[in-house]
Amino acid sequence: MTSPTTGADPVIRVSDLQKHYGETRAVDGVTFEVAAGSVFGLLGPNGAGKTTTVEVLEGLRTPNSGEVRVLGVDVIRHPDALKPRIGVSLQNAALYPKLTVVEVLDLFRSFYPTGRPTDELVALMDLSEKRTTRTQDLSGGQRQRLSVALALVNDPELVFLDEPTTGMDPAARRSLWDVVLGLKSEGRSVLLTTHYMEEAEVLCDRIAIMDHGRILEEGTVDELISRRFHERAVRFDAIDGLSDEQLAAMPGVASLKHEDGEVLLYTGDVPATIGAVLDASEALGMEPANLGVRKPTLEDVFLDLTGRALRD
Ligand SMILES: Nc1ncnc2c1ncn2[C@@H]1O[C@H](COP(=O)(O)OP(=O)(O)O)[C@@H](O)[C@H]1O
Ligand SMILES: [Mg+2]
């Protein structure tokens, strides 16, 4: 990196961003900040406005209103000042179909005064066997990997990855996760969009949940979950002879439900509830089968926020 970002200045500062396409409010008042050296995720379903937001931040689209500072640059006024310092992996990158992997990497690198060697990027993105393959003959996952490699040619301090693992098999997805965590460990900042809960949970220091052009909630995974769900669920296979009244009176239990032959006890005190379940079943000469604790996930947060599931 040529000029590492230091101190507490956020690398991205977006304030009340609006981008409309005719009647469609693709981005409808979005505000957030991304701290230097962190991975920030925009999580939301198709059509949420993630790509539009990212493209404004990259200086590729002019918003209707709002303020956008990226690496201290006012992107709306000076998009060209930003471009050499960021890396961009577009969701549907046009990749010069007739050029090979190595040729397209060399071409992109020639746009910049300095950069990372092509061989290093080929190895990093696991494309060694495809060096001389034309981009039109790559699989979807290989194109995605090339697109990420292209985002890194100029050794950027801030990298934008728009749905980087869509179309990848699980192994490729995991190796891309390692690349993202590697960028972070080098002190770079990453803004990524995804509709995969697990990806957001694994990679992101902070997450903004987006839907219909708005950010519904922002925070760390733990914050997002604990803001909404104060209880965990203790679960076990239903036991004949344990009444709902008895279960509801157990210490910590706030509510309960039955689901597919299981009892779910929502509790603010997991150990006390488990202790009471064990005591009560022992009194009946039983042992609770499949006893476990279910922690709420980001999926539960999304469902609670929108009334819909965000399916992987
Ligand atoms: N160039 C465009 N012209 C018109 N509508 C668009 C354009 N790009 C995106 N949209 C609309 O804006 C909304 C947000 O799209 P997008 O930012 O691509 O969402 P996401 O990346 O979260 O799937 C969608 O309703 C989409 O149809
Ligand atoms: Mg998109």
Please report, for the domain that includes residue 153, its CATH number: 3.40.50.300
Evaluate whether residue 304 is within a structural domain. Answer: no
Measured by CA distance, the residue closest to atom 18 of ligand 1 is 51
- Ligand 1 pocket member 194 (CB < 6 A): no
Looking up tokens 């344990």 gives 242
Same structural domain, 275 and 149: no
CB 263: neighbour CB atoms within 10 A? 20
Residues 285 and 237 in one domain: yes
Question: How many structural domains does the chain have?
Answer: 2
Q: Which of 4-8, 101-105, 194-198 shows the highest mean pLDDT? A: 101-105
Within this chain, do residues 129 and 247 fall inside the same structural domain, yes or no? no
Please state the length of the chain.
312
Quote the pLDDT of residue 307. 82
Query: Does the C-beta of 50 come closer than 6 Å to ligand 1?
Result: yes
* pLDDT in the model for residue 39: 98
8 — pLDDT class (breaks 50, 70, 90): low
The answer as to whether 202 is a domain residue is yes
Predicted confidence at residue 90, as pLDDT, reads 80
- What pLDDT is attached to residue 7? 55
Ligand 1 neighbour 6 (Cβ under 6 A)? no
80 pLDDT exceeds 70? yes
Answer yes or no: do 126 and 253 share one domain.
no
Query: Are the C-beta atoms of 234 and 251 separated by less than 8 Å?
Result: no
Task: Judge if the beta carbon of residue 51 lies within 6 A of ligand 1.
Answer: yes
How sure is the predictor about 100, in pLDDT bands with cuts at 50, 70 and 90? very high
Would you say residue 260 lies in a domain? Answer: yes
104 & 248 share domain: no
Q: pLDDT at residue 91 above 80?
A: no
d(CA 62, ligand 2 centre) in Å: 17
Answer whether residue 305 is part of any domain: no
CA-closest residue to ligand 1 atom 25: 47
Binned at pLDDT 50, 70 and 90, residue 311 comes out as low
Q: At residue 312, does pLDDT exceed 60?
A: no
Residue 296 has pLDDT above 90, yes or no: no
CA 189 – CA 187 distance, rounded (Å): 7
Question: Among 199-208, 210-219, 250-259, which is the least confidently predicted range?
Answer: 250-259
Q: Is residue 310 part of a domain?
A: no
Does the beta carbon of 122 lie inside 6 Å of ligand 1? Answer: no
What is the reported pLDDT for 227? 87
* Cα pseudo-dihedral 126, 129, 131, 132, rounded to 10: -160
Say whether 55 sits in a helix, a strand or coil: helix
- Residue 177's CB is within 10 A of a number of other CB atoms, namely 16
Same domain, 141 and 50: yes
The ligand 1 atom at the shortest distance from the C-alpha of residue 163 is 21
Q: Is the CB of 45 under 6 A from ligand 1?
A: no
The reply to whether 81 and 200 lie within a common domain is: yes
Q: DSSP H helical segments within the chain, as ranges?
A: 50-57, 79-82, 101-109, 118-124, 140-151, 170-185, 197-203, 221-228, 244-248, 270-283, 298-306
Domain boundary among 226, 253, 281: 226
Bigger pLDDT: 142 or 278?
Answer: 278
Q: Percent of the chain beyond pLDDT 90?
A: 77
Q: Is residue 312 part of a domain?
A: no
**Mean residue pLDDT across the chain:** 92
Q: Which of 312, 30, 37, 59 is nearest to 194 (CA)?
A: 312
The SS3 call for residue 263 is strand
CA distance 239 to 307: 31
Distances (CA, A) of 10 to 7, 38, 75, 254: 9, 10, 14, 40
- Give the number of the atom of ligand 1 that is nearest the alpha carbon of residue 55: 17
pLDDT of residue 5: 46
Whether residue 302 is contained in a domain is answered as: no
Give the rounded percent of residues in the chain with a pLDDT score beyond 70. Answer: 96
- The pLDDT assigned to 130 comes to 96
240 in the same domain as 183: no
Domain endpoint, select from 174, 202, 226: 226
Domain boundary pick from 202, 226, 250: 226
Q: Does residue 52 line the site of ligand 1, with CB under 6 A?
A: yes
Structure confidence at residue 234 (pLDDT): 95
Q: Does position 181 have pLDDT exceeding 50, yes or no?
A: yes
Write out the residue range of the structural domain in which residue 61 sits: 12-226
Kindly report the CATH number assigned to the domain that includes residue 283: 3.30.70.980
- Tell me how far the alpha carbon of residue 51 lies from the centroid of ligand 2, in angstroms: 4
Q: Are residues 82 and 214 in the same domain?
A: yes
Query: How far apart are alpha carbons 5 and 188 in whole angstroms?
Result: 8
CA angle 169, 172, 177 (to 5 degrees): 120
In the reported structure, the alpha carbon of residue 53 is separated from the centroid of ligand 1 by a whole-number distance in angstroms of: 10
pLDDT of residue 3: 46
Query: Which tens digits make up the pLDDT trace of 25-38?
Result: 999 999 999 999 99
Tell whether 1 is covered by a domain. Answer: no
Q: What pLDDT is attached to residue 167?
A: 79
User: 190 and 250: one domain?
Assistant: no
Same domain? For 72 and 215 the reply is yes
> Do 95 and 196 belong to one domain?
yes
Token pair recorded at residue 68: 């956008």
Residue with CA at minimum distance from ligand 1 atom 17: 49
Residues whose CB is less than 8 angstroms from the CB of residue 286 and which lie 6 or more positions away in sequence, other chains included: 239, 241
